[in-house]
Structure 1
Amino acid sequence: MLSEQSTPVVRATLPVVGAALADITQRFYAKLFDDRPELLRDLFNRGNQANGEQRQALAGSIAAFASMLVEHPGARPDAMLARIAHKHASLGVTSDQYKLVHRHLFAAIADVLGDAVTPDVAEAWDEVYWLMANALIAVETRLYQEAGTAEGEIWRPMRITERHDETPDAVSFVLRRADGRPAGTFRPGQYVSVRAELPDGARQVRQYSLSGAPDGDRWRITVKHVKGGDGPEGEVSSWLHGHARAGDVLTVSAPFGDLVLPGGEGPLLLASAGIGTTPMLSLLHHLAAEGSTRRVTVVHADRTPADHAHRDELHRLVRALPNATLHLWYEEPGAHAPEAARGRADVTATELPDGLTAYLCGPLPFMRAVRGDLLGRGVPARDIHYEVFGPDLWLGRD
């Protein structure tokens, strides 16, 4: 909770700071990478830095956290903090790095806002920063403990034992530990990071959902080839598609991510689009292995049946659950998917039981649309969960 002294200062300066956050975060990253160029080379996603999405996400998270401190002093954006903390843990972020970020962020604030940063203003926003940082450090410490690893020591060599081309743009890899030990358990819906050494020597990191059954012996990830177009080509996905073969060894993190099932027997909605199907497959594998009788509504949207990765597997898993239904939408269904509707997913026309918990994964426009439709149908925001890969430009706080 923000102190009584700082609350009115943050409330009064939030509009000014918020309006300048884009400039502040741009200056911050420039200072950070001038000081520590290896962070851009080996930790931060260079594509997201180039297109500005990482700056937008950082600015949004700071503004969202500060706004909640002054508008709802008895609450905390726990969902947002959990997503950030899981992502940080999957990158091996350590608590000492928050001091480095603090130094360059507040230098950037001073550069952009100048004399407006009085001692009182600096002290109040310093409190905001450390409230957020310490909350994240606490969650990340717990995540490392649960993973059975020291802070930041998340990496392990894993050998590709199988490679399967699922669609023209998606390939799956079955992974086992290179030392022969069991891969380890994970919670269905979680992801791992893959660190790839690229031709220029950079070691870029990307996250991929564990798309198979929660098998302690082997893991499976499915990687979509990001080909560019409206944005930069995916460096790691391009490298994996072009170079990774059975027998190769990848550097892979422990599993993280909070898109996991609640206990109980309540109804579920699993809604995905494109490669967002991957965490849903893991959840369905888990439910099928348990012999679950929960009511499960599965919604998936894709371009065509041929572009739908693990399409047959999804059908099999839904058939294995006695109270599951599958609703498919394809932009171009063709003759091979007579059961599918044409166009974009529309949950407004889908029968949904009361009291459901919803899980969303896919492109941000898809998730925003589905979440809005669910809210319109009376599903509480707290019961709608999502996974986003790349900078979180949505920042749902419920």
Structure 2
Amino acid sequence: MLSEPAAAVVRATLPAVGASLAEITERFYGGLFAARPDLLRDLFNRGNQAAGTQRQALAGSIAAFATHLLEHPEQRPDAMLSRIAHKHASLGVTPEQYALVHEHLFAAIAEVLGEAVTPEVAAAWDEVYWLMANALQAVEKRLYEESGEPGWRQWEVVERVAETADVTTFRLRPLDGGAVADFRAGQYVSVRVELPDAARQIRQYSLSGAAGSGLRQFSVKRVPGDGGAPEGEVSNHLHARVHEGDVLELSAPYGDLVLEDAADTPLLLASAGIGVTPMIAMLAQLAEGGHGAPVTVVHGDRSPADHALRADHQAYAHKLPDATVHFWYERDATPGTHTGLVDLHAITIPPGTRAYLCGPLPFMRTIRTQLLTKGLSPADIHYEVFGPDLWLSRA
């Protein structure tokens, strides 16, 4: 809980700080990477830094957390904190790094706001930062303790499958021959690779296979350069350079977009593009568990040929006793599918449905809006974002 004196100062200064957050975070990252270039090389996503999305996500999370403290002083924004903590745990973030972030973030605030940062203002925002940082560290500590595979572990690629022209599935087993901890459908692993310039970059990929197989399976979409944005360093590296017999470093599974245990709850699994990957694991879990309530499966893609894991998508859905499948394709739609973008207006959604969404942000915003108009509760609509969560400041 934010103290009353700090709350008054934060409420008075939030508009000015919020208006300057983009510049503050830009200077923060500039100072941080000047002092610790190894962090950009080995921890932070260089593509997101180049595109500016990481700065937007940090600014959005700070503003959202401060606003929540003022509007709901008795509550913590647990959903937001959980999502960030899971991402941090998958990257191996340590408590010492929070002190480093604090040093450079507050130097940037002072540099941008100048004389407006009085001792009282600095103390109030310091309180905001440590409330958020300490809450995140507590969640991350628990996640590390619960993990069956703490730290980085080496895994051997035993199979790679070309799903589409741009998506490849990798199946791996632990190089040490040890046990494979289970995971919850919807979770992801971090994959750390060494690139040609010796940078050790990390990316998260949803686990796209069934749990309990003794293997890890994830599917990677190759990200091309587009409109001045850099191509995906790690995705292109995996596609071009990683083959059967090669070894990758993986984290333990993390992620909080997971199926809750509710055999009598109707579900909707909506995805677009590579957002299909966590939905495959969810469908596999539902099929194995004999889920009997209605399941509505929705997916949108450019064409059937671009629909990764399409056979698995259909096969797992058909194993369920009460599932309906709706695929939309922008071109080359086949019999039984729809042409165009996903549109739920004509789709019957059972009352009490719990929805899980994964795909590009515009897709998820559209689907969320359509579900709300159909009467779903906002609390029953869950989502996963690949990359920095820009929804924090826009949803």
Q: Shared fold (TM-score greater than 0.5)?
A: yes
Cα root mean square deviation, aligned? 1.3
Alignment of 1:295-314 (within 5 A): 295-314=294-313
Structure 2 counterpart of 1:163, which letter? R
**Aligned pairs, number:** 393
Q: Give the equivalent residue in structure 2 for 1:291.
A: 290
Identify unmatched segments of 5+ residues in structure 1: none
Q: Give the equivalent residue in structure 1 for 2:39.
A: 39
Aligned residues of 1:212 and 1:220 also touching (Cα < 8 A): yes
Alignment of 1:22-171 (within 5 A): 22-148=22-148, 153-171=150-168
Identify unmatched segments of 5+ residues in structure 2: none
Q: Give the equivalent residue in structure 2 for 1:344.
A: 341
Q: Give the equivalent residue in structure 1 for 2:280.
A: 281
Per the TM alignment, residue 396 of structure 1 is displaced from its structure 2 partner at its CA by 7.4
For residues 170 and 291 of structure 1, the distance between their equivalents in structure 2, rounded to whole angstroms, comes to 29
With over 3 angstroms needed to count, the CA separation of the structure-2 counterparts of 1:303 and 1:237, relative to structure 1, is same
Per the TM alignment, residue 183 of structure 1 is displaced from its structure 2 partner at its CA by 2.2
Per the TM alignment, residue 338 of structure 1 is displaced from its structure 2 partner at its CA by 1.1
Q: Give the equivalent residue in structure 2 for 1:246.
A: 244
For residues 129 and 349 of structure 1, the distance between their equivalents in structure 2, rounded to whole angstroms, comes to 46
Q: Give the equivalent residue in structure 2 for 1:382.
A: 379
CA-to-aligned-CA distance 1:258-315 (integer Å, 9 cap, x gap): 1111112211110000010000000010111112212111100000000000111111
For residues 214 and 190 of structure 1, the distance between their equivalents in structure 2, rounded to whole angstroms, comes to 11
Structure 1 counterpart of 2:351, which letter? D
For residues 226 and 4 of structure 2, the distance between their equivalents in structure 1, rounded to whole angstroms, comes to 49
SS in 1 for 2:76: coil
For residues 56 and 346 of structure 2, the distance between their equivalents in structure 1, rounded to whole angstroms, comes to 34
For residues 182 and 148 of structure 1, the distance between their equivalents in structure 2, rounded to whole angstroms, comes to 9
Per the TM alignment, residue 200 of structure 1 is displaced from its structure 2 partner at its CA by 0.3
Q: Give the equivalent residue in structure 2 for 1:316.
A: 315
Per the TM alignment, residue 347 of structure 1 is displaced from its structure 2 partner at its CA by 1.7
In the superposition, the TM-score normalised over structure 2's length comes to: 0.97
For residues 238 and 166 of structure 1, the distance between their equivalents in structure 2, rounded to whole angstroms, comes to 15
Q: Give the equivalent residue in structure 2 for 1:268.
A: 267
1:181 correspondence with 2:187: no
Q: Give the equivalent residue in structure 2 for 1:13.
A: 13
Counting aligned pairs with the same residue, the percent is 63
Aligned residues of 2:267 and 2:353 also touching (Cα < 8 A): yes
In the superposition, the TM-score normalised over structure 1's length comes to: 0.97
Aligned residues of 1:182 and 1:216 also touching (Cα < 8 A): no
Per the TM alignment, residue 148 of structure 1 is displaced from its structure 2 partner at its CA by 4.0
CA-to-aligned-CA distance 1:189-224 (integer Å, 9 cap, x gap): 100010010000000000000000012511110000
For residues 266 and 136 of structure 1, the distance between their equivalents in structure 2, rounded to whole angstroms, comes to 31
SS in 1 for 2:382: strand
Aligned residues of 2:85 and 2:139 also touching (Cα < 8 A): yes
Per the TM alignment, residue 397 of structure 1 is displaced from its structure 2 partner at its CA by 10
CA-to-aligned-CA distance 1:338-386 (integer Å, 9 cap, x gap): 1111111112221101111110001111111111211222211111111
Aligned residues of 2:63 and 2:393 also touching (Cα < 8 A): no
For residues 393 and 244 of structure 2, the distance between their equivalents in structure 1, rounded to whole angstroms, comes to 39
For residues 175 and 379 of structure 2, the distance between their equivalents in structure 1, rounded to whole angstroms, comes to 40
SS in 2 for 1:349: coil
Aligned residues of 2:207 and 2:281 also touching (Cα < 8 A): yes
